[in-house]
Amino acid sequence: MNSTVLVTGATGKTGRRLVPQLAARGVTVRTASRNPAPADAHVEPVHFDWSDESTYAAALKEVDAVYVVTANLSGITTHQSQQVASLLDAAAVAGARRVVLLSAFGVDQAPAEDPLRRIERVVEEAGMPSTILRPGTFMQNFSEKHWSNLDATIRERDEIAMPGGDALVSYVSTHDIAAVAAVALTEDGHDGKAYSLTGREALTLAEVAHHISVAAGRQVRYVESGPQTIRDALLATGMPTDQAEYVTQLFVAAMTTGAFGVVTDDIAAVTGRPATTFAEYAAGAADAWRRPTTNHVSAT
C-alpha cells in the first residue's frame, strides 16, 4: 500500500531535496507550508503553520510518517519543543507510525536546557518510533540563502570573511541529508537510531575557498575575521542581541575545540553510497557564484 509522509520545512535546504526523493520511491508526499501551492505528481501541498496548532490535524490526516524540521540554529526558539510535542500528539492520534527529526551535529552533548536538545528529548519520549539526524554544517550555506550572506560575498567580493582560521569543519551536502531522511522515513531498521551526518573530509576555510575558486573559475580568498562578523550578521536578520551572542559563542567554541571537524561514515552506512565531497558540491553550485553579465549596447 502506498504510504504518505508529511514533510515540514518542505521549502528549506533539506526539505526541498527530500520531496523528490520520496516521490521517486512512490511515496505520497504532503508538503507543509503556510502558503501551499500546486505541485507535481505524488505531492500534496497542505496548509500548516507551526504557530497555529489548529492546522496540525488536517495536515496529518492518514499520514504514515513525519519529517520534522523546526528552525535552524539562528532561528530556533525555546517554545518550539512544545510545538513539536503537540505535533507528535496529533500525529499519534492520526495513526502515524514513524518520525524523523532534523537536529544538528553534537546536540546530544548539549546541556538539557538547549532548545534543540529539548526537542530531541520530546521526540525520544513521544512513544513513536523515531530517528534523529544530526548533520554538520551545510555545504549549501556557501551558495544559498543563509544568515551569513556567504553566497553574496563570494559572488560580489571574491572572499569568505569568517572567523575560524585553521579550524577543520566536516561540511555535509543537504542532498545527502535528504537521502538519509528518505531511507529512515520509508525503510525499517532505523527506529531509535541517531545519525551524525558529515562529508568525507574536514576542511579549513582556506581549503573551501580553493574548491570554490576552481568551480567559479576565479580566485576566491579566505579572509580571517573576528566573532563580531557572526554577531553582526545575526543581528541583521532581526535576532535579539542575547540570542545572537549565544549563537556566536556556540559557533566560536565549536570551531576552537575542533567539534565541527569530526568525520563519520553514517551517510554511506545508511544510503549505501559515499557522502558528497566539497569539490563535487562546488562543481554543481558554481552558477551561484557567477556574476551577472552586463550587456552594453553602443549607439550608432
Residue 99, classed as helix, strand or coil, is strand
Q: Beta 193-197 vs 130-135: how paired, if at all?
A: parallel
Is the CATH number of domain 4-203+258-289 3.40.50.720? yes
User: Which range among 1-15, 27-41, 93-107 shows the weakest confidence by mean pLDDT?
Assistant: 27-41
Highest mean pLDDT among 140-149, 201-210, 242-251: 201-210
Q: What percent of the chain has pLDDT over 70?
A: 94
Res. 295: pLDDT tops 70: no
- Least confident interval from 38-47, 97-106, 142-151: 38-47
pLDDT band at residue 297 under the 50/70/90 scheme = low
* pLDDT number for residue 77: 61
What percent of the chain is modeled with pLDDT above 90? 70
Going across the sheet that includes 4-7, the strands are 43-47, 28-33, 4-7, 65-68, 98-102, 130-135, 193-197
**pLDDT of 251-286, one tens digit each?**
887 777 788 899 999 999 999 999 999 999 999 999
**215 contacts: CB under 8 Å, gap ≥ 6:** 279, 282, 283, 285, 286, 289
Decide if pLDDT at 162 tops 70.
Answer: yes
pLDDT at 300: 46
Q: Please report, as a single letter, which amino acid is at residue 284.
A: G
Q: List pLDDT tens digits, range 117-153.
A: 999 999 999 999 999 999 999 999 999 988 888 999 9
pLDDT grade for 94, boundaries at 50, 70 and 90: very high
pLDDT-based confidence at residue 71 (cuts at 50, 70, 90)? low
Residue where the block lists cell 570551531? 255
**Mean per-residue pLDDT over the chain, rounded:** 91
pLDDT of 167-194, one tens digit each? 999 999 999 999 999 999 999 999 999 9
The per-residue pLDDT for 137 is 93
Q: So where are the chain's domains?
A: 4-203+258-289
Looking at residue 226, its pLDDT comes to: 86
Question: Which pLDDT belongs to residue 279?
Answer: 98
